[in-house]
A = this chain, B = another copy of it.
Amino acid sequence: MATKSIADWVTSLSYSSLPPEAIQAATRSFYNWAGCTVGGSNHPAATIAQKALSRFFGAPTSSLLGSQGTQVDAQHAAILNGIASHVHDYDDTHLETIIHPTGPVASALLSFAESLDRPVSGAEFITALVAGIEVECKCGLAVWPSHYDVGWHITSTTGSIGAAVAVSKLLNLTSEQTAHAIGIAATQVTGLREMFGSHTKSFHPGRAAQNGLMAAVLASEGYTSSLEALEAKRGWVNVVESHDQLDDMVASFGKENCWEIVKNSFKPFPCGIVVHPIIDGCISLHSELRQRGISYEQIEDVQVTVHHLVLELTGKTKPRDGLEAKFSVYHGGAVGLLFGKATPAQYEDAVVNEPNVLKVRAKLHATGDSSIRPDECHIVLKLREREVLEKHVDHAVGSVKSPMTDDQLTEKFLDQCISVVGLEKAKKASEWCWNLDTRNDIRDIKDIL
């Protein structure tokens, strides 16, 4: 009954039933997503896809964020915004599952909302966004961690389902139609981890957005699927990794302290989240060295102790370009030490191959330790004169225990948007997005971003 129970929960969800912290989390999630999407819109993964798919574009109803007015059909807007939102690996993270939840859901939802011939209020939009993200993350919890371990990109495999739920909610589908939409989405299992480091990684949340959008639209016209799509013997959970957490997950919907969106976190650095503690620590060490007037050339050796997943996911010692550098704990640490920051600029191909960066990168060595949490790390830096500096990061900035403030999110948003749309437009967009909950019509975004 899991699928039907979830569909019932989704159809009964209302804005007034959302706890304030879920509304706040949804606003922050949308805000961060919008900035990342604009910031990623001119990356080759987004522009190549736009060029390649342009021959198929339908009637323009939905905005490509950051394009200053370009509209395409809602399906292609969902894919292309979804790609852009994830391409810098700068989007949000539900840490318990390492799902990037907003990309698939918001990309589908905004694109579809814009295509409607009626106003969509901020409150309605937030309700659908929360519904989608809750279902996405609970499905992720039901199969975590074996689903990810075996090789699925959990962001998109669950993202298709979350996107279907969000669009179903916006379409006011019945519970049965919503269950069919979940089924049509669940059968499209998109995303292998093998693609990490290539354009296809960011294709995953884009395609997931479009999978879910299509599923909801088909279900709205009576297309049928299974009403037990998630829990059946050969349904989603059992096929994508056999687990028995589905019922627990279903029982937790809407319960106090069980809102997944509230656990959503935002990245201060545009790379795999497991690298963040190391960057955080290296930025602190950069400041210390700088204050004391010590050049990076004095660094002899840097030993970093990390959670074992850090090496598994980001063990690339010699990244060749910006995309690969996102999966290199060594690059993350090196730019932290060298520049005292890690923004998209430090992940440009030219920087990844800069001689100084290569020099510092080669001095970093990482060791896995099972007693270290994923948001923790310990760094021991040796200088040539045998002096040793140590830095322990307990909870990396951006983690649940040390969240980015609204001001930090604003700074990140403006940094991403200014180079694409200019300062004035970026500021206006920032103000518009922060006030999502009071917007009368979300479709106004076409004049904003």
Contacts and interface: CB of A to CB of B under 8 A. Distances in A.
Contact of A223 (B56, B203, B229): B203
Interface in A204-225: 204, 207, 214, 217-218, 220-225
Contact of A234 (B74, B151, B188, B207): B151
Copies of the polypeptide in the assembly: 2
A427 interface: no
A69 interface: no
Contacts of A152: 239
A42 to B, nearest CB: 15
A51 interface: yes
B238 A151 contact: yes
B222 A53 contact: no
A240 to B, nearest CB: 9
Contacts of A221: 48-49, 51-52
Contacts of A217: 52-53, 55
A115 B49 contact: no
Contacts of A74: 55-56
Contacts of A214: 53
Interface string A190-202: 1111110111100
Nearest to A218: B52
A117 to B, nearest CB: 11
A183 interface: yes
A83 to B, nearest CB: 10
Nearest to A47: B221
Contacts of A235: 151, 192, 194
A236 B55 CA distance: 29
A184 interface: yes
B192 A48 contact: no
Given A53-B214, A203-B184, A236 B192 contact: yes
A418 interface: no
B226 A195 contact: yes
A229 B55 CA distance: 27
A412 to B, nearest CB: 27
A192 B51 contact: no
A305 interface: no
A309 to B, nearest CB: 14
A268 B234 CA distance: 28
A150 interface: yes
A56 to B, nearest CB: 5
A364 B319 CA distance: 65
A275 interface: no
A187 B191 contact: yes
A200 B214 CA distance: 12
Contacts of A352: none
B239 A223 contact: no
Nearest to A219: B52
Interface in A160-185: 183-184
A19 interface: no
Interface of A: 44-45, 48-49, 51-53, 55-59, 73-75, 115, 150-153, 183-184, 186-195, 197-200, 203-204, 207, 214, 217-218, 220-226, 228-229, 232-236, 238-239
9 contacts: A48-B223, A151-B238, A151-B239, A187-B190, A192-B234, A192-B235, A194-B234, A200-B226, A203-B218
